[in-house]
């Protein structure tokens, strides 16, 4: 699912061009058009149809490699590529919480990228691994970042309604998900809880100190194709009004916007005023799937405030996120060697 998004987003890209594709031994040696069961509505780009799919081994691959491997294999394969000198921009979970691996959202914590230099030194690699967060973490953290930076977070509760494309292809059996809600996604709640604190942590002395707030996540799979919706409640360290929070969202800009990185959303957070938005049906593709759409901000009788956030899981939560990481890296000279 994510590999196809990469291929699609790389078509006509101003900075990067798809040159090499690799997957499991099931696909290796086949033309991409035969190996891949293309599930996107946009047609498969012509340029890649005849690419012969490689085995997942370094050597013939270009310097910059985007990884969306199954997490059963990503851990070792990504290390092998980084040791061989490749810049691995990964979407898999295996290395996200390694202390010397940047876990990045360029609109939130671009300064954490400097961890990659420590990583290269400590591991003696010619290349490096840089990661983006879990697809559920992205929308949550994008919506929290302006609050943490201005007012300080104390507590966060998040309940997700996650799309089926988040489970990869072919994903869940129809009989499990049809007309159903599944209140369990293995490992997801733990990922959201740890990654959120790392992403919103402070970078100092070549390490990241996790944010000093607590996060509790409930993750559910629902019968939506793409787009993770989240109900979020928060309490803050500072006394603020609803207007302060709305203003923090509306005015939020960061490095990708300042540098005009290609495909960075002009408005990373879009606030919907209607009482029944955001909705997958109308808001999923805001800013080409790169914006986080929020709404329904109101007081919370248990914590202080509550709201809804929506984010595209295979674009902002996966391939689009990794591409933006690579653009940040290019803009800082990490790809110049």
Which residues are the active-site residues? 135, 228
Among 145, 318, 323, 326, binds ligand NAP (CB under 6 A): 318
Closest approach, Cβ 275 to ligand NAP, in A, equals 28
Question: With respect to ligand NAP, which residue has the nearer C-beta, 161 or 271?
Answer: 161
- Which range of residues in 66-74, 216-224, 233-241, 247-255 is near ligand NAP by CB under 6 A? 66-74
User: Which residue matches tokens 């309940």?
Assistant: 159
Task: List the interface residues with ligand NAP, window 84-103 (CB under 6 A).
Answer: 91-93
Question: With respect to ligand NAP, which residue has the nearer C-beta, 30 or 123?
Answer: 30
Closest approach, Cβ 1 to ligand NAP, in A, equals 4
Mark out the alpha helices in 24-126 (DSSP H runs): 32-35, 46-49, 71-83, 115-123
DSSP 53: P
User: Which residue matches tokens 């869940």?
Assistant: 172
The answer to whether 141 and 234 have CB atoms below 8 angstroms apart is: no
- Which range of residues in 6-14, 18-26, 144-152, 259-267 is near ligand NAP by CB under 6 A? 18-26
- Which range of residues in 71-79, 118-126, 190-198, 294-302 is near ligand NAP by CB under 6 A? 71-79
The reply on whether position 227 binds ligand NAP by CB under 6 A is no
Among 10, 18, 23, 270, binds ligand NAP (CB under 6 A): 23
The reply on whether position 311 binds ligand NAP by CB under 6 A is no
Separation between Cα atoms, residue 37 and residue 4, nearest integer Å: 9
Reduced to 3 states (helix: H, G, I; strand: E, B; else coil), residue 226 is: coil
The reply on whether position 33 binds ligand NAP by CB under 6 A is no
Task: List the interface residues with ligand NAP, window 153-172 (CB under 6 A).
Answer: 165-166, 168-169
DSSP 318: I
Which helix (H) or strand (E) is 236 found in, with range?
Answer: strand 228-236
Q: Please name every residue paired with 130 in a beta bridge, in sequence order, or none if there are none.
A: 89
The answer to whether 126 and 58 have CB atoms below 8 angstroms apart is: no
Q: Assign residue 206 a region: left if phi > 0, alpha if psi is -120 to 50, beta otherwise?
A: left
Reduced to 3 states (helix: H, G, I; strand: E, B; else coil), residue 152 is: coil
The reply on whether position 27 binds ligand NAP by CB under 6 A is yes
Count of CA atoms in the C-beta half-sphere (13 A) of 83? 8
Among 33, 44, 73, 177, binds ligand NAP (CB under 6 A): 73
Among candidate residues 73, 98, 133, 74, the one with its CA nearest the CA of residue 318: 133
Q: Please name every residue paired with 306 in a beta bridge, in sequence order, or none if there are none.
A: 233, 298
- Which range of residues in 24-32, 95-103, 185-193, 297-305 is near ligand NAP by CB under 6 A? 24-32
Q: Give the number of other Cβ atoms within 10 Å of residue 96's Cβ.
A: 23
User: What is the size of the binding site for ligand NAP (CB under 6 A)?
Assistant: 27
Question: With respect to ligand NAP, which residue has the nearer C-beta, 286 or 297?
Answer: 286
Among 48, 64, 68, 131, binds ligand NAP (CB under 6 A): 68
Q: DSSP for 191-205?
A: HHHHHHHHHTSEEET
Closest approach, Cβ 247 to ligand NAP, in A, equals 31
The reply on whether position 1 binds ligand NAP by CB under 6 A is yes
Closest approach, Cβ 82 to ligand NAP, in A, equals 16
Question: With respect to ligand NAP, which residue has the nearer C-beta, 297 or 315?
Answer: 315
Separation between Cα atoms, residue 125 and residue 119, nearest integer Å: 8
- Which range of residues in 63-71, 100-108, 246-254, 293-301 is near ligand NAP by CB under 6 A? 63-71
Edge-first strand listing for the sheet containing 228-236: 214-221, 153-162, 228-236, 305-311, 292-299, 269-271
Which chain residues interact with ligand NAP by CB under 6 A?
1-3, 23-24, 26-27, 56, 68-71, 73-74, 91-93, 134-135, 165-166, 168-169, 313-314, 317-318
């Amino acid at each position: 699912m994510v590999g196809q998004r990469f291929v699609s987003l790389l078509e006509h890209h101003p900075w990067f061009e798809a040159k090499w594709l690799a997957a499991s031994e099931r696909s290796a040696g086949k033309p991409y058009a035969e190996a891949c069961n293309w599930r996107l509505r946009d047609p498969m780009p012509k340029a890649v149809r005849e690419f012969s799919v490689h085995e997942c081994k370094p050597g013939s691959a270009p310097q910059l490699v985007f990884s969306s491997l199954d997490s059963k294999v990503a851990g070792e394969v990504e290390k092998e590529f980084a040791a061989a000198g490749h810049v691995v921009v990964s979407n898999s979970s295996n290395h996200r919480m390694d202390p010397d691996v940047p876990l990045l959202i360029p609109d939130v914590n671009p300064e954490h990228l400097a961890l990659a230099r420590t990583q290269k030194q400590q591991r003696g690699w010619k290349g490096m691994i840089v990661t983006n967060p879990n697809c559920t973490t992205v929308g949550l953290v994008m919506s929290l970042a302006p609050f943490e930076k201005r007012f300080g977070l104390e507590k966060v509760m998040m309940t997700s309604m996650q799309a089926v494309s988040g489970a990869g292809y072919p994903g869940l059996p129809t009989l499990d998900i049809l007309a159903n809600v599944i209140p369990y996604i293995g490992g997801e709640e733990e990922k959201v809880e740890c990654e959120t604190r790392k992403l919103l942590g402070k970078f100092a002395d070549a390490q990241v100190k996790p944010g000093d707030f607590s996060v509790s996540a409930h993750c559910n799979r629902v019968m939506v194709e793409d787009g993770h919706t989240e109900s979020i409640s928060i309490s803050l360290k500072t006394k603020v009004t609803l207007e302060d929070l709305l203003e923090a969202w509306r005015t939020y800009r960061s490095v990708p916007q300042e540098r005009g990185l290609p495909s960075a959303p002009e408005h990373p957070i879009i606030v919907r005023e209607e009482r029944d938005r955001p909705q997958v049906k109308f808001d999923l593709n805001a800013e080409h799937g790169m914006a986080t759409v929020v709404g329904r901000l109101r007081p919370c009788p248990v914590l202080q405030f509550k709201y809804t956030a929506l984010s595209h899981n295979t674009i902002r939560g996966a391939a689009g996120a990794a591409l933006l990481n690579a653009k940040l890296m290019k803009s800082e000279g990490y790809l110049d060697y």
